[in-house]
Amino acid sequence: MKVDKMSISLDAELGDEVRTAARKAGKGISSWLADAAAAKLRAEALDEWLDEWQREHGPITPEELARAEEDLGIRSKTQASAR
């Protein structure tokens, strides 16, 4: 597999948190950061897709959101804090 070596700089506190998170995940820092970057790119792509969908179809209603959460077996932060 071809790799792209990079040099990055992080705030010291963030660097400590990244090291801790990587250690907890049982991964090296490079692998953990690669996974985090991939997750960020997926989230941004989903945001762009949802924005486009809402431009074409209108805003997602609370009912649609509740159904999606139910279908996915997740609770919104509002629902979780109400308990």
Tens digits of residue pLDDT in 25-38: 999 999 999 999 99
What pLDDT, on the 0 to 100 scale, is given for residue 70?
Answer: 94
Amino acid at 1: M
DSSP state of 71: H
CA distance 81 to 75: 10
**What's the chain's average pLDDT?**
92
- Residue 46 pLDDT > 80: yes
CA distance 39 to 34: 9
